[in-house]
Structure 1
Amino acid sequence: MTRRAGGASDGAPPARSIVALARDELPVDTVALARFMVGKYLVHDLPEGRVSGRLVEVEAYPVGDSTGHAFIGPRGWNASLFLARGHAYVRLTYGVSWMLNMASEAAGVGAGVLFRAVEPLDGLTAMAARRPGAPLRELARGPGRLTQAFGVGAAFDGVDLCSGEGLWIGRDRELAANDASLVIGTTTRIGLSREIDRPLRFYVVGSPFVSGPRKLLASA
């Protein structure tokens, strides 16, 4: 299914033609999936228009990771992490911010990828309305800001991000699934007290929309 973004608006750069990612395109392995998702697109089609952006930072929470929400096994609240890869897992963190994750691995195996930051493209006015006073760079820089800008909350837990409708993930139809021109860096994850040295955070090198202290960003 192909979704074509509208023309450049709200001060956004020229929109790209985005095709929805099929589940078969998604690597099964969590770490491979996290790296694959860098440079892909997050889209939320609403009655009032499209909100979209390019994923510039993600974190992997693979099988057996003690910091992952799936580590304790399936429960009612984390059931979406055990769905087939490509389903959303949305969880309120610290009672304040919603976090958008995507299930990885095969159905029944709990693991996921956290979407940490997006470079905003379409729907900048809508994003700014949800994030009043925030400059462009800060609209979706960080997982809590991302969900706020995109209007994502508890209702999106369990949705199929490969559906091409509503909230979905996609890629530029004019580029290969793995964009060879994209420089992807690898570094450690942020805000953890355990397994803090694992290189499981992936980001677009040089992007101003990547979150966290600049000093933590290793070379590609």
Structure 2
Amino acid sequence: MAITLSVVSLEGCTSAKKLVYFQGATTTDDTVNIAEPFIPTIKKGDILSVQVSSLNAEASAYFNPVSMAEATAVTAIANPLARTVGYAVADDGTIKLPLIGQLSVVGLTNTKASELITSKLKSYLKEPTVNVRNLNFRISVLGEVSRPALFTIPNEQITLPEALGLAGDLTIYGRRDNVLVIREEGTKRVFARLDLTRRDAFRSPYYSLHPNDVVYIEPGKARVTSVDRAYQLTPVVTGILSLIAIIATRR
């Protein structure tokens, strides 16, 4: 009973205002400017899915990785990280395609890469269509969320609130006013903090997440206090239960 009351009192100390996202609206209909949407470009080390189709399905199949569909179907169930069968972008920024050979794709968007490959395939296929996707667009969400995990983003577009939604939202102990986004930029790691209780978060360049971003939710004081009290109460509870067991066995 004492432990239950302690937990309830701690949760009651958490201000409701600290749990509300995007505060500051003054009217029912309100607007706020947002940051420019992030459009990913291909980088060294990316793994690309290149799906080719044309009026001749048999000829098109030659340009698609033979084991791609089978490998994905078998391995995706056991390990989401295994969904990486495709063309790896080499250190020189190229991928190697059947017949076409090496193509420089680093720095291109998927759309531009699709257009480039399509132009090369016209010598081999009738009315080719190419779809390029990045198979290793991943983000990590850690800390005080319901389901911390590494997430693969199939459409290569995700915002910070969407990522938190995938992770089951913050727990009641998570600090919404101090969300940390860790981003790789060249040879550096940038540590940026966003306050999701304010609408200014929409204007942050870290509102749209990039590949390999790490989102960390810091625990609030209530979480730290509850853990400390749990450690303090455990020996007491254990001692009481042991005493009750001894008394019960002597009767």
Q: Please, what TM-score do these two structures have when normalized by structure 2? A: 0.18
Task: Please identify the structure whose Cα radius of gyration is greater.
Answer: 2
**Structure holding more helix per residue:** 2
**Structure holding more strand per residue:** 1
